[in-house]
Every structure is written in structure tokens, then in C-alpha cells.
Amino acid sequence: MKNIFVTGIGTDVGKTIVSAILTEALEADYWKPVQAGDLKNSDTLKVQSLISNTKTVFHPETYQLSEPMSPHAAAAIDGIEIDVKKITLPFTNNRLVIEGAGGLMVPLNNECLIIDLIEKLEAGVVLVVQNYLGSINHTLLSIEVLKSRGVELLGVIFNGTKNEASESYILSYSGLTCLGRVKKHDVLTKKVVLDYKKQFAQL
């Protein structure tokens, strides 16, 4: 089964909760190659706190950056440069859920973007979409750039408050499959994540 790269149409659209749900549903391994900021409560630690199964392995980040900003800028503050050649898939016999940083066009260094990393890792993409003013534009632009690179797009997951008009247009225009929906949750727990297992277990 192909590894899954979870990306979003922007920052804070729900990549981490979707990554946790997919990791639990598939009992896959989890890996966030680049963590920028919030190192004491990293996305890896957040996902780990939401997983119930004992099969999942959490692989360490290749880069841990101190500042919560674009990876290329955060790396510069830390006095390093991200070398995409050093970001290699961790060894595992399990399927792997990979969580990106921000959206597709987020720079890792002066030459490489997140989408370049996706191409390098040869993973299928799940695009997380949250509804807000401008989200149709951001979603369709993300889909177009993925298609232009020949990246396999497995489908979209809508996160948060439903907007039928926006969602139906995105699916109709793009021809993509809606893999599922994650509701808005004020508190995230292991039980919340487990409740989605059946919905996403066949991905």
C-alpha cells in the first residue's frame, strides 16, 4: 500500500488531526519530516497522544526548528539550511502517514518547496480542506499544482464546518473523491480519533 502524505490548502486547516485519524484508522506509522516551532508540543507528540493502537511507530523528525514560521526562514534563524537530500523515508515494514508543514508551496530552502519533497518521497497525497472565504480558490490552486507535477492525489478530506456550496463545487470541478469528513471538535481525545476509524480504514 502506498504511503500517504497529508498536506493542506494552507496552515492550520487540520492536517494534524487528519494525520492522527489516518494513522489510527490504518494502524500506520507516523512521520513529520520537518517541525517548525512548538517543539515541546510537536505535531508528533500531539498525534502520539491521540493514538490507541500499539502497532504504530512514531519516527523522529529529520529537522526540528525552534521558530514557528516557514521552514526556510526558521532554519536560517537556527543557523542551518534544510538539505532535502537528507530527508529520507524511515525504514518500516508498515504503511507510513507523512505530515507536511503548511501548504504545497511552502519553502524548505531557497530552491525546494514542500511539493518537491512530496515528489521525492513518492507518496500519494491526501489534501485537507477547511471551508473559509477563499478556500475554493486555495483548494483548486493546490489541486492544479499537484496535477501539473503528476503527483497522485488520493482525494480530499473536509475538516470543520460543512459548506455544501463550496464542497460540491470543489468536487465537481476537480473530479476528485471526497475521502471523508472530520467534524469540528472542541476537545480532541483518543475516543474522538477512534470514532473515525471505520470511515477511513479502507483508504
Query: Which pLDDT band, with edges at 50, 70 and 90, does 124 fall under?
Result: very high
The whole-angstrom separation of Cα 191 and Cα 55 is 17
User: Which DSSP category does 60 fall into?
Assistant: P
Find the catalytic residue in 32, 46, 147, 197.
32
Task: Please report the domains of the chain, with CATH numbers, ordered by start residue.
Answer: 4-200 (3.40.50.300)
Rounded percentage of the chain residues whose pLDDT exceeds 90: 96
User: How much is the average pLDDT of 158-167?
Assistant: 96
Residue 32 known to be catalytic? yes
User: How much is the average pLDDT of 95-124?
Assistant: 97
- What's the pLDDT at 30? 98
Q: What is the pLDDT of residues 33-86, one digit of tens each?
A: 999 999 999 999 999 999 999 999 999 999 999 999 999 999 999 999 999 999
- What's the pLDDT at 202? 87
- What's the pLDDT at 1? 79
User: Which DSSP category does 91 fall into?
Assistant: P
Furthest-apart CA pair in the chain: how many Å?
46
Mean pLDDT, the chain, as a whole number? Answer: 96
Q: Is the pLDDT of residue 166 over 90?
A: yes
Beta-sheet strand order (sheet of 178-182): 58-59, 29-31, 96-99, 4-8, 124-130, 153-159, 178-182
> With contact defined as beta carbons under 8 Å apart, do 79 and 73 qualify?
no
User: How much is the average pLDDT of 170-186?
Assistant: 95
Structure pTM? 0.96
Pair type for strands 58-59 and 96-99: unpaired
Nearest by Cα to 26 from 193, 164, 182, 146:
193
- What's the pLDDT at 203? 86
> With contact defined as beta carbons under 8 Å apart, do 103 and 142 qualify?
yes
Q: How many helices (H) and strands (E) does the chain have?
A: 8, 9
- What's the pLDDT at 105? 97
User: Which DSSP category does 47 fall into?
Assistant: H
